[in-house]
Structure 1
Amino acid sequence: MKWVSLKLGEVIDIKHGYAFKSEFFTDSGLYILLSPGNCHEEGGLKLKGDKEKFYSGEFPPEYLMSEGDMLVVMTDLINTAPILGGAFMIPENNRFLHNQRLGLVQITDVMRIDKGFLYYLLNSHNYRAQVRGSASGATVRHTAPTRIKECVVRVPRDVSYQKKVGSILSFYDAIIENNRRRIALLEESARLLYREWFVHLRFPGHEHTHIIDGVPKGWERVALESTLVLQRGFDLPTQSREEGTVPIYGSTGILGYHNKAKACAPGIVTGRSGTLGEVQYVDEDYWPLNTTLWIKEFKRVSPFFALFLLRELDLKQFNGGSSVPTLDRKTVHRQNVLIPSPVLGRAFDEFALPIFAQIKNITSQSEKLRTARDLLLPRLLSGELAV
């Protein structure tokens, strides 16, 4: 198979997003306002659940996305630019808005480039390195359509061959996406039970339980600090990180892997600065960065209960920062929370345990699929491995 080199500008154009008005940003609605944060580091759409931003105002209709539209990240808030230039696809019609800082990829020569192949090309290391190399900005990194179009890539001359490559890689992504949905449904089942029992107070036996001032008999209303202890994470400069298997947690999730752990599983991590209120359950030893808070001690609640307790508190409301959003730990510790009877707490744990065991198993499967895909991707995109 003959491969040829070309500049991306020979086969694509990129359209800037729309500057949506901030006064119409909402926490719910019909239209999801996309941002660079909706792109995974390895590419692909990253949905944020109840953390999504929505838009309720008027907008030009051409910025309402259709299924199969492809967007690239034009701005990255992290100086190492892990998502800059990355691509993701729109999964459905009339739901997602093309915001500024994202570029709409439009193929201008279908005889030379296949859309599926292009998607993986835009998430390849070689292309991403070119984008980062030409980016402007020290802390916040920016690229532009002209810079992306200057990137040089190698592609098979035969477009039908490109389609085969894209099809192989998309097979892996389809299974990974299906696993993601399964995990979301499993977590939702535990969340719904938590809300049913501990928020709406429709727990087993509630019909016969005496309630005074909103506190069922055998329960307590106490300060959060008497149930668990939140601790600031630890510094770990990039130059000090040594490759390993211990996940490094930042305010948005796993940022890499190190060879040493600072906290033991099971654990809970939440964003302390920059991104607030992303509460995550950790089932392996880990390193929480200083942009996080982690639970140093579970005094009266289990990790499963603590996960949904903190999510229910909506931690981002406790922002104590001025220029940089910062979670005020002392304020969070002072919040009053309802703690159920030990018997009911154990009953919830018994329900949650097999759910999170399934989640761990599915997550492991997805990691293996990602590893296989990531090994295949550069070999398929370079022509080293034929199909």
Structure 2
Amino acid sequence: MKYGFCKIGEYVTVLSGYAFKSEDFQAVGVPVIKIGNIKLGHVSLDDGNTECIPRAIADKLGRKFIVRKGDVLISLTGSHLTQPGSVVGRVGRYYYDSISVLNQRAGKIIVKDEEKSHLGFWFYLLSTKAVMTEIAMLAHGAANQANVSPKDIEKIWLPLPPLPIQKRIAAILSAYDELIENNNRRIALLEKMAEEIYREWFVRMRFPGHEKTKFHKGIPEGWEVKKLAEVVELCYGKALKEEERSGSGFPVYGSSGIVGYHKIKLAEGPGIIVGRKGNVGSIFWSATDYYVIDTAYFVRAEISFRYLFFALHSLNFVNNDSAVPGLNRSQAYSNFMLLPDANLLKRFDLEIGELLKVKENLLQQNTLLKQTRDALLPRLMSGKLDVENLDIAFPPGMQN
């Protein structure tokens, strides 16, 4: 089925956020969504860096700057296409029950007439690779500060099916996203449980048998304090341009996490990845064999990787370059870390092993769900997959 073309601005408005003053920000209150909070497909307030404003200031803002559950946001500043995880024009949906507010350069997609156009459909349409590429090509600026204006986005021509077709397409794709989101909530809970066990044993020092253990200067007998250089090796990743990646196979990690997939692995899993350029000191876990590009290190060590993953989060990884953030390996190696005895580490592996197995199963489910959804997305948007006569059960929010 062929769809007619229209300008984005005929059906939606792209709103840029509010320019808050630096003195407005505080640690608690109403979260402020900045461009860094907008991820591919979703908005995240859980990275520990989200700033807030007082509720009194939020209450004075216009309704348009308030972000509510279901809203579709777009990054008006970001990188070029070579860094897809932070690319300008990336679109994310807001899934939190509580409100947030929109900062400048973070945009919101507002449907002009709900009788003619469906917000959920626009979320998926703007998420297609073709549209994201077109938006990124309109951007101007440096590598990590490419900017695109709302007006430029509104001038883009796109195919738009009739409203009933829009709703059917959104319902099909949102079914996948709801399953993914449910799995993500379970994954977050499992991660918190594993982290709590780590903190209970190795931070609060209430590990099994602690009552009978002797402590010397706060350190349990049999434990050691060592420099990181004595425990791990930070190995350099290898350059692999986006166009050279096969698109399937092993996950490819950079300093922002998974940035693609490739048929060749660089390291065997399970493994730990540490951000070297860009997101300095970011730490990721790979349960499978994987590839690491040159913006990150991968870890080699003889001790428990599960313990090491949590322990690395407590270390001070300093950015050594204000222009291009980077992690100096010598500085990283100079950090001291606590090394428990081998028997306790084995017990810790067993304790959290089952939790992490369930987590990995959920992650694998999500990978398959995303692959299926992403394969359907361009076919649905182009009309190659006709949904006009499909009997689709709409989610509660789409039934009216």
Q: Same fold (TM over 0.5)?
A: yes
Give the counterpart letter for 1:4 in structure 2: G
Distance 1:150 1:125, change over 3 A: same
TM-score by length of 1: 0.91
Name 1:309's counterpart in structure 2. 311
- SS class of match (2:127): coil
Distance 1:276 1:138, change over 3 A: closer
The one-character-per-residue Cα deviations of 1:140-182 (angstroms, maximum 9, x if unpaired) are 322111111111111222x233212211110000001111111
1:152 aligns with 2:147: no
Give the counterpart letter for 1:274 in structure 2: G
Name 2:19's counterpart in structure 1. 19
Name 2:29's counterpart in structure 1. 30
- The separation in 1 between residues aligned to 2:295 and 2:35, in whole angstroms, is 19
Name 1:164's counterpart in structure 2. 168
- Say whether the 8 Å CA contact 2:319–2:326 is kept in structure 1: yes
- The separation in 1 between residues aligned to 2:95 and 2:307, in whole angstroms, is 33
Once the two structures are TM-superposed, the CA of residue 107 in structure 1 deviates from its matched residue by 1.3
- Say whether the 8 Å CA contact 2:272–2:286 is kept in structure 1: yes
Residue from 82, 93, 96 that aligns with 1:89: 93
- The separation in 2 between residues aligned to 1:144 and 1:360, in whole angstroms, is 40
List aligned pairs for 1:107-122, cutoff 5 A. Answer: 107-122=111-126
Residue from 274, 290, 297 that aligns with 1:286: 290
Residue from 295, 298, 302 that aligns with 2:301: 298
The one-character-per-residue Cα deviations of 1:318-376 (angstroms, maximum 9, x if unpaired) are 22222222223222222222111111110000112222222221111111111111111
Name 1:204's counterpart in structure 2. 208
- Higher mean C-alpha deviation, range 323-332 or range 246-255: 323-332
1:338 aligns with 2:335: no
- The separation in 2 between residues aligned to 1:240 and 1:368, in whole angstroms, is 23
The one-character-per-residue Cα deviations of 1:167-218 (angstroms, maximum 9, x if unpaired) are 1110000001111111111111111100000011011111121111110112
Distance 1:265 1:278, change over 3 A: same
Name 1:53's counterpart in structure 2. 50
Once the two structures are TM-superposed, the CA of residue 67 in structure 1 deviates from its matched residue by 2.2
Structure 1: which 5+ residue stretches go unaligned? none
Once the two structures are TM-superposed, the CA of residue 239 in structure 1 deviates from its matched residue by 5.5
Distance 1:38 1:123, change over 3 A: same
- The separation in 2 between residues aligned to 1:197 and 1:223, in whole angstroms, is 21
Distance 1:29 1:50, change over 3 A: farther
- The separation in 2 between residues aligned to 1:294 and 1:281, in whole angstroms, is 10
- Say whether the 8 Å CA contact 1:32–1:55 is kept in structure 2: yes
- Say whether the 8 Å CA contact 1:33–1:96 is kept in structure 2: yes
- The separation in 2 between residues aligned to 1:371 and 1:55, in whole angstroms, is 35
Give the counterpart letter for 1:321 in structure 2: D
Once the two structures are TM-superposed, the CA of residue 88 in structure 1 deviates from its matched residue by 2.0
- Say whether the 8 Å CA contact 2:20–2:103 is kept in structure 1: yes
The one-character-per-residue Cα deviations of 1:73-103 (angstroms, maximum 9, x if unpaired) are 1111245363432322222355422111211
Report the RMSD for the aligned CA atoms in angstroms: 2.2
Name 1:194's counterpart in structure 2. 198
- Say whether the 8 Å CA contact 1:33–1:52 is kept in structure 2: no
Count of matched residue positions in the alignment of Structure 1 and Structure 2? 379
- SS class of match (2:314): helix
Give the counterpart letter for 1:342 in structure 2: A
Distance 1:270 1:18, change over 3 A: same
- The separation in 2 between residues aligned to 1:247 and 1:313, in whole angstroms, is 26
Distance 1:130 1:336, change over 3 A: closer
Distance 1:103 1:55, change over 3 A: same
The one-character-per-residue Cα deviations of 1:8-53 (angstroms, maximum 9, x if unpaired) are 1111112111223345555x42333323333333x222x2624332
- The separation in 1 between residues aligned to 2:67 and 2:298, in whole angstroms, is 38
- Say whether the 8 Å CA contact 2:78–2:146 is kept in structure 1: yes
The one-character-per-residue Cα deviations of 1:271-305 (angstroms, maximum 9, x if unpaired) are 1121122211112222222211221x213x21101
- The separation in 2 between residues aligned to 1:275 and 1:351, in whole angstroms, is 31
TM-score by length of 2: 0.88
- Higher mean C-alpha deviation, range 266-275 or range 64-73: 64-73
The one-character-per-residue Cα deviations of 1:83-130 (angstroms, maximum 9, x if unpaired) are 432322222355422111211211112222111111111112332232
- SS class of match (2:238): coil
Structure 2: which 5+ residue stretches go unaligned? 388-400
Name 1:369's counterpart in structure 2. 369
Distance 1:314 1:90, change over 3 A: farther
1:236 aligns with 2:240: yes
Distance 1:347 1:23, change over 3 A: farther
Give the counterpart letter for 1:156 in structure 2: P
- The separation in 2 between residues aligned to 1:341 and 1:68, in whole angstroms, is 48
Percent of counterpart pairs with the same letter?
35
Once the two structures are TM-superposed, the CA of residue 135 in structure 1 deviates from its matched residue by 2.1
Name 1:256's counterpart in structure 2. 260
